[in-house]
Amino acid sequence: MNYQETLSFLYAQLPVFETQGAHAYKPGLERCEAMDATLGHPHRKFRTIHVAGTNGKGSCSHTLAAILQSAGYRVGLFTSPHLLDFDERIRVDGEPIGHDYVVQWVAAHYPALQAEQPSFFELATMMAFCYFAEQRVDVAVIEVGLGGRLDSTNIVTPEVSVITNISFDHMQFLGDTLPQIAAEKAGIMKADVPCVIGECTDDRVHFTFQQNAQLHRVSELIFANEKPQVLWVRHGIGHNEYETLSDGTLWSPLVGECQPHNANTIIWAVHKLRERGFNISEEQLHDGFRNVLTLTHLRGRWETLQEASATQPKVLCDTGHNEGCFQYIGPQLQEILANGQRLHIVFGMVRDKDISAVLKYLPTDARYYFCNADTPRALPAGELRALANEFQLNGDCYATIADAYRSALANATPQDVVFVGGSNFIVCEVMRMEKNS
């Protein structure tokens, strides 16, 4: 089989959460522990940083990887989901896993692992650990897939555990209260390992983390928002600048309103890594922040897909897909309108999210182009429009994402802005269109 045939085989054989939702969710570590033993415990051959949280995991993981690369380490990076290709999930020094390796690894190991009946994500985790071991990485940044306590990545014992924040998402698996969700995320805490909590403003969540830190005997629990390293933020055109307590003025191309919180979390994690023996200078910290997009190829975070021109509008996208994301994205969209620009929003969501919790943040004076992805999890565009109308969000339904996007471009003037979001599926389809245009 070639690369695409191998991926098609795995998608057909294994449950895939991104497309099938709850049916594909397989909590528990027993399958990964068994596969890990079969493969010779590859994850023990390199150091790790483990990153959980409702939102911000990707930005924090990529930036930490970029900082470590800038410091001269050989760095693995495991994230999910991918946008355009599976190979984005597994990177070494920013370069995606080789297609030949994927084909050969599946051919060599799947027959021995299939008895465990793994999910797609579990098998991908094992592939990543093997690849990092064979590539002799010094350290790997491992992003949790879902939750933490029962996530397949939780067989690692990291140098630092990071929990970015807690918000409502995946409640059918993690619980329907913030303390319940926090307890699941806190499952990545390990004995004698420091844990950095990025954002925590809820007293009940704070108490949950403290309880779990004692239970897991962590060496240190840091609430980053209570001891801010970022003293002030200046929002520039296409970048943020952060004046920090002890690391000078940082420059970052990640400009979403949530990014200052992520920056504070990252800086604290770097401080703990330094205490664990990592040599990371102030200059290398700056380089990692400044060059995260080129070093790790992070995409989809308030990204400009098309700059405004004499004939075309500016096009922005963001992969945020829950309430915790849109509490930041919503005000950013309102700011576009406040600047006197008209806003066209190409929008779709999957049905297992809290749709109303997102819609309440969206501006009423934008024009909407409702669509749905070609996946069983997608909420049909007509149902989404009916819900949106309850929040005075008005627009038309489109049969495909491509139709919605083309209509938005056709209706927008060069002075307008088009925003694409609500779901990874929507964003990645538009990215493919831009790539092929």
Structure tokens at 100: 């030949």
CA 218/CA 410 separation, integer angstroms = 55
**What's the Cα-to-Cα distance from 388 to each of 3, 182, 322, 346, rounded to whole Å?**
40, 30, 15, 13
Higher pLDDT, residue 9 or 193 = 193
DSSP per-residue letters across 236-275: ETTEEEEEESSS-EEEES--STTHHHHHHHHHHHHHHHHH
SS3 196: strand
Q: What is the mean pLDDT of residues 254-283?
A: 95
Structure tokens at 34: 């068994």
Q: What is the mean pLDDT of residues 77-88?
A: 94
Q: What is the mean pLDDT of residues 222-242?
A: 93
DSSP per-residue letters across 73-116: --EEEE----SS-GGGGEEETTEEPPHHHHHHHHHHHHHHHGGG
Question: Tell me, what's the pLDDT at 314?
Answer: 97
Contact 201, 89 (CB under 8 A): no
CA 295/CA 301 separation, integer angstroms = 15
**What's the Cα-to-Cα distance from 230 to each of 254, 259, 321, rounded to whole Å?**
15, 11, 26
Task: Lowest mean pLDDT of 16-20, 280-284, 319-323, name the range.
Answer: 16-20
User: Distance between alpha carbon 197 and the CA centroid of its chain, in Å?
Assistant: 16
Q: Comparing C-alpha atoms, which of 116, 115, 88, 117 is closest to residue 102? A: 88
Contact 363, 437 (CB under 8 A): no
Q: How many CB atoms lie within 10 A of CB 48?
A: 23
Question: Tell me, what's the pLDDT at 16?
Answer: 56
N- to C-terminal Cα separation, the chain:
30
Task: Lowest mean pLDDT of 25-39, 364-378, 423-437, name the range.
Answer: 25-39
SS3 391: coil
Q: Give the confidence band of 19 by pLDDT, cuts at 50, 70, 90.
A: very low
Q: Comparing C-alpha atoms, which of 266, 302, 306 is closest to residue 286? A: 266
Given a cut of 70, whether residue 175 has pLDDT beyond it is: no
Higher pLDDT, residue 131 or 21 = 131
Contact 90, 312 (CB under 8 A): no
CA 113/CA 97 separation, integer angstroms = 20
Q: Give the confidence band of 117 by pLDDT, cuts at 50, 70, 90.
A: confident
Given a cut of 60, whether residue 315 has pLDDT beyond it is: yes
CATH number belonging to the domain at 3-296, selected among 3.40.1190.10, 3.40.50.700, 3.30.70.1150, 3.20.20.80 = 3.40.1190.10
β-strand 249-252 against 95-96: which pairing, if any? unpaired
Given a cut of 60, whether residue 26 has pLDDT beyond it is: no
Contact 92, 140 (CB under 8 A): no
β-strand 160-163 against 47-52: which pairing, if any? parallel
Q: Give the confidence band of 308 by pLDDT, cuts at 50, 70, 90.
A: very high
Q: Give the confidence band of 212 by pLDDT, cuts at 50, 70, 90.
A: very high
CATH class of residue range 303-436? alpha beta
Phi, psi at 243, each rounded to 5°? -85, 120
Residue found under tokens 């975070």: 301
Strands, sheet with 95-96, edge to edge from the N-terminal-most edge strand: 95-96, 90-92, 75-78, 139-143, 47-52, 160-163, 195-197, 221-223
Which sequence spans correspond to the domains of the chain?
Answer: 3-296, 303-436
CA 71/CA 39 separation, integer angstroms = 30
* Residue pLDDT, tens place only, 318-371: 999 889 899 999 999 999 999 999 999 999 999 888 899 999 999 999 999 999
Q: Where are the beta strands (DSSP E) in 214-363?
A: 221-223, 230-236, 239-244, 249-252, 303-306, 314-318, 343-347
Given a cut of 60, whether residue 170 has pLDDT beyond it is: no
Q: What is the mean pLDDT of residues 106-124?
A: 91
Give the chain's mean pLDDT. 92
One fold for both 3-296 and 303-436? no
